[in-house]
Amino acid sequence: MGTHEKEMDQIYTIVEARFPSYSEEMRELLRELGNDTPAADLPEAVLETIATRLQLTDEEFGSQGARQPLHEYITRAEEYQRKVEDLSPGDRLQQYRECQEKAIASRDARWHEEGEATDAVAFFNNPDCDPDFAFWLKMERWTPEQAVALSLGKDPARVNMERLDPLVGRSNFRKEYRRRLQLVLALFRAREIDLLKPTAFCGWAGNVGLQPIPT
């Protein structure tokens, strides 16, 4: 990406943070249908075509469902773009990074909410996935996956990576299971503690803030 392309990427990222519907698709339609005509002078038919193709909703153009005229929205976006273009390179870069950070935080929050929704109806919340701790504590040693499942309050015989794999990218529980498994495997490989023994694992889990297993 050349210098000019990088500058325009920064500019459009900043503008879209304030005017989300002023997207690349909208700008392409404005060039295709409007021939770079100022938004205030665009024919109503062009505006209606843009709104239809982009499936724009009332909520995107004002509070409480009150639709703001599309030509006014585009005009404000274009005016804001010119202001951003006039910023110094340093100020524009700072705003660009701030917009990126906010976008990432918003994306992560959305993914977390979607993960919670997935987990709410997932198989591992069924009563038959509750563990019999008394049974598992009688074992001399656990595998890493058994230890992790128990630390999450689940029956290792029913909740394991094989059954969780179909939920990859959609489940917060699966993400936490994977995180704990990586941690436990790293400790096993380092031979820092014989966590395969239930009593040792339970003590370690409590010390590092993982959910303690009733003993």
Number of Cβ within a 10 Å radius of residue 144: 20
pLDDT tens by residue, 34-47: 777 777 778 888 88
pLDDT, position 65? 36
Identify the band that residue 54 occupies on the pLDDT scale cut at 50, 70 and 90.
Answer: confident
pTM over 0.95: no
* Interatomic CA distance for residues 17 and 1, integer angstroms: 21
Identify the band that residue 194 occupies on the pLDDT scale cut at 50, 70 and 90.
Answer: low
* Interatomic CA distance for residues 69 and 208, integer angstroms: 56
Residue with the bigger pLDDT between 62 and 213: it is: 213
pLDDT, position 61? 55
Q: Domain coordinates of the chain in residue numbers? A: 3-118, 124-207
Q: Where are the alpha helices (DSSP H) in 37-171?
A: 44-53, 70-85, 89-120, 133-137, 144-151, 161-164
Q: Is the pLDDT of residue 69 over 60?
A: yes
pLDDT tens by residue, 143-191: 899 999 999 999 999 999 999 999 988 899 999 999 999 988 887 776 6
pLDDT tens by residue, 91-140: 999 999 999 999 888 887 888 888 899 999 999 999 999 999 999 999 99
